[in-house]
Chains A and B, each alone.
Chain A
Amino acid sequence: MITIREVSKWFGTFQVLKRCSTEVAKGEVVVVCGPSGSGKSTLIKCANGLEPFQEGTITVDGISVGDRRTDLPKLRARIGMVFQHFELFPHLTVTRNLTLAQMKVLGRSERESAGKGMLLLERVGLQEQARKYPGELSGGQQQRVAIARALAMDPIAMLFDEPTSALDPEMINEVLDVMVALAKEGMTMMVVTHEMGFARKVAHRVVFMDRGEIVEDAPTAEFFGKPRSERAQIFLSKILQH
Chain B
Amino acid sequence: MNYNWNWAIFFEISPDAVHSYLQTLLIGTGWTLATALSAWAVALVFGSIIGVIRTTPFPWLIRLGTGYVELFRNIPLLVQMFLWYFVLPELMPDEIGIWIKELPSASFYTAVVALGFYTSARVAEQVRAGILSLPRGQRLAALALGLTLPQAYYHALLPMAYRIILPPLTSEFLNIIKNSAVALTIGLMELTARARAMQEFSFQVFEAFTAATLIYIVINIVVTYAMRRVERRVAVPGYIGAAPQAAAH
> CB within 8 Å of B: which residues of A?
45, 48, 50, 73-81, 83-85, 87-91, 100-101, 104-106, 132-138, 141, 146, 149-150, 153
Contact B140 A83 (CB under 8 A): yes
Chain B residue, CB-CB nearest to A133: B237
Contact A85:B135 (CB < 8 A) given known A133-B237, A138-B247, A138-B249: yes
Chain B positions within 8 Å of A100 at CB level: 145, 147, 155
Q: Number of B residues whose C-beta is below 8 Å from A?
A: 26
Contact B245 A135 (CB under 8 A): yes
Chain A positions within 8 Å of B137 at CB level: 83-85, 87
B205 at the interface (CB under 8 A from A): no
Chain B residue, CB-CB nearest to A48: B144
C-alpha gap A143/B154 in the complex (Å)? 23
Residue of A87, A91, A135 near B140 (CB, 8 A) is A87
> CB within 8 Å of A: which residues of B?
135, 137-138, 140-148, 151, 155-156, 159-160, 163, 236-239, 244-245, 247, 249
Residue of B142, B148, B237 near A135 (CB, 8 A) is B237
Contact A133:B238 (CB < 8 A) given known A85-B137, A87-B140, A89-B156: yes
14 contacts between A and B (CB under 8 A): A45-B140, A75-B146, A81-B144, A84-B137, A90-B236, A91-B160, A91-B236, A100-B155, A105-B145, A106-B146, A133-B237, A135-B244, A150-B144, A153-B145
Chain B positions within 8 Å of A88 at CB level: 141
New A-B contacts (12) at CB < 8 Å, excluding given A90-B238, A136-B247, A138-B249: A74-B146, A87-B135, A90-B236, A90-B239, A91-B236, A101-B147, A104-B155, A105-B147, A135-B238, A137-B247, A153-B145, A153-B146
A147 CB, min distance to chain B CBs, angstroms: 12
The 3 closest A-B pairs by CB, nearest first: A135-B238, A77-B146, A87-B141
Chain B residue, CB-CB nearest to A80: B144
Chain B positions within 8 Å of A80 at CB level: 144
